[in-house]
Structure 1
Amino acid sequence: MSTQTASSAAPAAPAAEEKTGRSLTLIAVLLAVFVVPMSISGTAVALPDIGVSTHAELAPLQWVVNAFNVAFACFTLVWGSVADIIGRVKAFAAGAAIYAAASLASAFATDVLWLDAARALAGIGGAAIFSCGAAIVSTIFEGPARAKAFAYFGTVAGVGVALGPSLSGALVQTLGWRWVFAVHAIALVVVLIAVPAISKAMPVTRSTGARIDFAGSALFVVAMVLLTTAIVQGSQWGWGSVGVVALFAGAVVVLAVFAFVENRREHPMLDLSVLRNRRFVGLCLVPVAGSIGFVTMLTYLPSYLTAVTGRDTGAAGLIMVLLTAPVLVCPMLAAKLVTRGVSALTLIYVSLACLIVGDVALTLFSPDIAIAVVAVPMIVTGAGMGLAAGLVDGQALEQVDPAKAGMAAGFLNTLRLGSEAIAVAVYGSALATVLGSNITDGIGAHAGASHAARVASQAAGGDLARAAEVSGATDRQGFLDFLTQAYDSAFHAVLWGLAVACLVLCAVVFALLRGGARRVTGRTS
C-alpha cells in the first residue's frame, strides 16, 4: 500500500515544481513588463523638476522622454531576432540588466545630456524586456493557460500605462525625481534574481547554426532612428520642413535597402516570409488601431478637459479613470470568455468596433457637457483597447513557427510602439493645424487681438488663459470664450478623423484575418 502511494505520488512532485517555475517566471516577466510602460507614461511628470535641477533647456529636456521611445522602437525587433539565436532567457536577462544599469545611471545624472543618454540605454533594455518577455510567455504556456497568461500581460501593461503618472508624481513630490528611476532599477534587480528560475522553466529554444544579422540590425536601427526622429521633430520643425522631409526620405531609402539585404540572407533579422502570413499581419495591425483610437485620447483628452471644460488637473485625472479602467479589467474578461468557447477573433472584432463607436461617441464632448453623458463612450473606447490587449499577442505568436516567436514578438511590439508615437504626433500636429486655422479666421473679429501664430501655439498646448493674454485682446473674457470654441471645434474635427482612420484600418484587419493562413513555419524559396 505504501509502495503504491509513493510511486503514484512521485510524478506529482516534478509537475508541481514545473507549475511553480512557470508561475514564478510569469511573475518576474510581468514585473519587468510593468516597469517599461510605467516609465513611458510616468517620466514626463518628472520633467519640470528635472529641468530645474539640471538647468536644462526645452529641447534636451524633451529628449528625456523621446530618447527612451526612439531607442525602444529601434531595438524591439532587433532583440526579438537576437533572442531566437542566443536564447530568450539570456536576451531577457540582458535587457533587464541594461535597464537596471541605465535607470541607476539616470538616478545619478548630473546634467540633462547624461540623462538623455541613460534614457536611450534604458529604451534598449526595455525593448528586450517586451520582445523576449512575450516570447517566453508564449513558449512556456499552452492552450487556455497561454490565453490567461497573455491576459495578465496585457493587464499589467495597461496598469503600468495608467498608473505611471500617478506613481511617478507621488515619488517626485515625496522623494524627488531621481527616485522615479531608482525604483525602476530596484524592480529590475528583483527580476534579475528570478532569472535562474526562469531558465529552469524554459525549454531550449536557441536556433542552431544561426548567426546574428548585424547588417540587417544596423540598417533597421538606422531606418527607425530616422523615422522616429522625423515623427518626434515633425511638430517642432514643421511636417513640410526640409529637415523632416529629408528624415522621412532617408528612412524610406534605408528600409528599401534593409528589405533587399534581408531577402538575400540565410538567417535574416526579419524573415520577410512571415509577412506573407495575412493572419499574422492582420493581428499585428490590431494594436495600431488601439494607438489611433485609444492612445491619442489617453494623451490629449486631459488637455481638453482642463482647457475647454475648465476642470482642474485632479478632476481631469479622475475622469480619465473611465477611459483607463476597462484596460485593467477587459484583458482578463477576454481570457475567461475564450476559455468558455468564445472565439478570440470575435473578441478582437468587438474590440475594433468599440474603438470606432467610442471615438464617434466622444464627439458628444462639449464645454458644458455632463460627465455622465460621455461616461459610456469613454468606457467603450477603453474596452476597445482592453479586450485586445494581451489576447492579440497570444493569437499573433500562434501564427508563426515557435522558433521565431522572438522575432514575431519584436515585430508586433515595433508596430505597437511605433504606431503610438506616430498617432500621438500626428494628432498633435493635426490639432495644432486646425486650431491655428480657426484662430486665424476668427481673430480679426476681436478688438486689439493679434499675433495669431503665437496665440495658436500657446492654445495648442492647452493654456488658453495665457493665449488670451498673449493676444492683447481688449475683451479678454470674450476672446477666451472664442479660444474655447476654437479648441472645441478643432478637437471634434480631429476626433472624426481618428474615427475614420480606425474604420479604414479595421476594414484592412478584417480583410487580412478573414482569409489569412494559420502558420508560416519557414522561409519559402
Structure 2
Amino acid sequence: MPRPRLLLTVILFAQFVIPLSISGTAVALPGIAADLGSDPTPLQWVVNGFNVSFAICTIAWGAFSDRIGYTRSFRIGIVIAAVGGIISALAPTLSILDAGRVIAGIGSAAVLTGAAPLLTHLFEGPARAKAFALFGTINGLGLAAGPALSGMLLSVWGWRGIFAVQAIVLTVALLGSTRLPRLGRGETSLRQLLDFSALKAPSFLAMTLVPVAGAIGFVTFLTYLPSALGAIHNLSSGVIGALMLTMTVPVLIAPTLVHRIMQSGRATPTSVIAVSFTMLIVGGVGVVLLLRPDLPVAVGIAPMVLLGLGFGLPLGFVDAEALAAVPSERAGAASGVINLLRIGSEAVFVAAYAAILAAIVTTTLPGNAGQLVASGGTGHPWIYHDGLVAAALTMIGLVALLGIAFVLIHRVSVRTSRKNTTPELNTETSPVQQ
C-alpha cells in the first residue's frame, strides 16, 4: 500500500476544491451576469446550486457509499464534480451553468462523505486525529483563499477559468486516487462512521458550535463581500482581491499565534473561543456600519480583519478539543460529524445569506436593474447596502445565539466533568461508630 502521507495528500487535494467552490464562486457573478444574463434566480443558483445540492446529497451519499465502498464513492464523486466543473466552464447559458454547479455539488458531496471514512480506515489513534485536524484545516484555508484565488483567476482567464481550474485540480486528484486501496462496502455501517451519539456529550456539542458559527459569521461574509465591494464602491476585481487578503491573511496567522499563547498558559481554549465569538460579532457589526457608499473603503478594513481573526483563532485546536470529549476509538466517527456539520453549515448559510440579500434588493428595485445589483452590479450602491444590512444582521444574530448556546452548554459540561471526577462520599457507618 502507498505511504499514508501520499494517500492523505490525495484526499486533501480533492477536498480543497469544495471550500473553494463555496466561498469563491460569488466573485464571478458580475462577469457571469454580463455574459449570460442577470435574471436573479438562475444567477444566484450559480452559487446556491452547488451549496444546496451539496448539503442535500451529503447524507444520501453517505448511505450509498456504505453499499458501494468508500474508495469507489470518493472516485465517483471526483468524476462527477470534475464533469460539473467542465460543464460550468463551457456553459453557453445560465441554465446550463446552473446545471453544472448542481452536478458539481452532487459530486462534491460524494467526495466529502467518501473522504471522512477513508481517513477513518487509513489511520488509527493519534495519526487519525492528526489527519482529521489537517482535513479541517484544509477546509478553513480553502475557504479563506477562495475569493482571492478566484479573483486572480477572474482577472487572468475570466469567470470560466475559475471552474476550469477546479476541474483540472479534481482531475489530478482522480489520477492520484488510483493509489487508494479499496475500502468499505459492508465493513462499517454509516451509523458507525457518522456516530451522532457523540453530540450527547456536552463538551463535544459545545465545540461543534464553533465551526458552525464560523460558517455563519465568516464564510457568508467572505463569499459575498467581493460582490459588495464591487456594488458599493465600484472596485475592480484586482483591488477587491487585494482587499480580501485583509480577511484571509489573519486566518493563516491566527492558529500559530493561538498555539504559542496557549502553550505559554496565558489562554485557555474556552477563552480563545469567547474572543472568537466576540470578534465575529463585532466584525460583522463593523461591516454593517462602515461598508457604506458615503464612507471610504479603507474604514471597512478593520472589521474585515476582525472577521478573519474570529474565524482563524480556534481553527487549530477546536477539532482536538471536541475529540477529547469522546473515546479515542470513536475519534474518526466524531471527526466525520464535525466536518459534516462544518461544511454543511457553510453551504446552507451561504445560500441563506444570498437569498436574503437578493430578496431585499429585488423588492426595492424590481426588474433587470435590481437583478444586476443583486448579483454585485454597480449603479445603485445604497440599495445593495440595504440588502447587505438585512443579510448581515441576520447572520450576526445567529452567531450571537450560538455564542450564548456555547456558554450554556459549556457550563453544563464543566458541571458534568466535576461531578464525574468528585470522589463519592462514604456514607456507610464505620466500625468505630457501630
TM-score by length of structure 1 reads 0.62
Of the structure 1 ranges 386-395 and 504-513, higher mean CA displacement relative to structure 2 is found in: 386-395
- Name the CA distance, whole Å, in 1 between partners of 2:353 and 2:208: 16
Aligned residue among 337, 345, 348 for 1:418 = 348
Indicate whether 1:73 and 2:60 are aligned: no
The answer to whether residue 341 in structure 2 is matched with residue 359 in structure 1 is no
SS in 1 for 2:102: helix
The SS at the match of 1:127 is helix
Distance verdict in 2 for CA 1:397–1:168, change over 3 Å:
farther
- Residue of structure 2 in register with 1:502 after alignment: 399
Contact 1:353/1:384, CA 8 A, preserved across alignment? yes
Give 2:15's aligned amino acid.
V
* Equivalent-residue separation in structure 1 for 2:333 and 2:56 (angstroms): 19
Pair 1:494–1:274, CA change in 2 (3 A): same
Counterpart of 2:245, as a letter, is V
Q: In the alignment, which residue of structure 2 is the partner of 1:404?
A: 333
Q: SS state of the match for residue 199, structure 1?
A: coil
Q: Deviations over 1:452-494 (max 9, x none)?
A: 7679947963889745xxxxxxxxxxxxxxx74x766775676
Aligned with residue 252 of structure 2, among 328, 336, 361? 328
| Amino acid across the alignment from 2:404 | A
User: 2:285 & 2:377 partners in 1: Cα distance?
Assistant: 25
Which residue of the partner structure matches residue 156 of structure 1?
Answer: 141
- 2:306 corresponds to which letter in structure 1? V
* Unpaired runs of at least 5, structure 2: 418-434
Counterpart of 1:127 in structure 2 is: 109
**2:426 matched residue in structure 1:** none
- Cα distance in 1 between the residues matched to 2:37 and 2:385: 35
What do the CA deviations read for 1:24-51 (whole angstroms, capped 9, x no partner)? Answer: 2332223212222223344445566667
1:268 is displaced (CA, Å) by 9.5
1:295 aligns with one of 219, 226, 229: 219
Cα deviation digits, residues 312-353 of structure 1 (max 9, x gap): 554344222212222233345456666777654443333222
8 Å Cα contact 1:299-1:424 kept in structure 2 = no
Tell me the CA shift for residue 88 of structure 1: 3.9
State the AA in 1 paired with 2:309. A
Residue 508 of structure 1 aligns with an amino acid whose one-letter code is A
The letter for the 1-side match of 2:215 is: S
Q: Which residue identity is paired with 2:61?
A: W
Partner of 2:423: none
Seen in structure 2, the aligned counterparts of structure 1 residues 79 and 349 have a Cα distance that, compared at 3 Å, is farther
Partner AA of 2:307 in structure 1: T
Report the Cα distance in structure 1 between the residues aligned to 2:67 and 2:262, rounded to whole angstroms: 32
In 1, Cα distance between equivalents of 2:258 and 2:412: 23
- CA–CA separation in structure 1 for the residues paired with 2:241 and 2:405: 34
Corresponding letter in the other structure for 2:213: A
Q: Distance in 2 between matches of 1:53 and 1:309?
A: 22
C-alpha distance in 1 between matches for 2:155 and 2:104:
22
- Aligned partner of 1:515 in structure 2 is 412
Q: Match of 1:165? A: 150
Whole-angstrom CA distance in 2 between matches of 1:456 and 1:51 = 11
Question: Which residue number corresponds to residue 461 of structure 1?
Answer: 374
**1 CA distance for matches of 2:361 and 2:202?**
34
* Residues matched between the structures, number: 406
Amino acid at match of 2:134: A
Which residue in the other structure is 2:76 paired with?
A: 94
Partner of residue 424, structure 2: none
Matched, 1:103 2:29: no
Q: Secondary structure at the match of 2:134?
A: helix
Shift, 1:364, TM fit:
4.9
The equivalent residue for 1:348 is 273
- The secondary structure found in structure 2 opposite 1:79 is helix
Higher radius of gyration, 1 or 2: 1
Q: Quote the residue 2:421 is aligned against.
A: none
| 2-structure distance, mates of 1:76, 1:187 | 21
Alignment partners' CA distance in 1, 2:97 and 2:243: 33
What is the Cα deviation at residue 273 of structure 1?
3.8
Counterpart residue identity of residue 101, structure 1: V
Q: Residues 92-121 of structure 1, C-alpha deviation per residue, up to 9 Å, x if partnerless?
A: 223223222333444455655444333322
Q: Indicate if the aligned counterparts of 1:68 and 1:122 stay in contact, CA closer than 8 A.
A: yes
CA pair 190-334 structure 1, distance change in 2 beyond 3 A = farther
8 A contact 1:305–1:311 mirrored in 2: yes
Which residue among 291, 312, 329 is the counterpart of 1:386? 312
Which stretch shifts more, 418-427 or 120-129? 418-427
Alignment partner, residue 173 of structure 2 = 191
Provide the identity percentage.
33
CA 1:274–1:156 in 2, change beyond 3 Å: closer, same or farther? same
Does the CA contact (< 8 Å) of 1:99 and 1:122 recur in 2?
A: yes
Q: Give the alignment partner of residue 207 of structure 2, picking from 283, 292, 297.
A: 283
Could you tell me whether the CA contact under 8 Å between 1:347 and 1:388 is conserved in 2?
Answer: yes
CA distance in 1, matches of 2:10, 2:384: 44
| Equivalent residue number for residue 25 of structure 1 | 7
* CA distance in structure 2 between the aligned counterparts of 1:86 and 1:506, rounded to whole angstroms: 40
Are the aligned partners of 1:137 and 1:150 in contact in 2 as well (CA < 8 Å)?
A: no
In the TM superposition, what whole-angstrom CA distance separates every residue of 1:416-472 from its partner, at most 9, and x where no partner exists? 321332234335546777xx4xxxxxxxxxxxxxxx7679947963889745xxxxx
Q: Which segments of 5 or more consecutive residues in structure 1 lack a partner in the other structure?
A: 1-17, 213-266, 437-451, 468-482, 519-525
Distance 1:312 1:36, change over 3 A: same
Aligned to 1:36: 18
What CA RMSD, in Å, does the superposition of the two structures yield over aligned residues? 4.3
Q: Is the 8 A contact 1:360 1:496 kept in 2?
A: yes
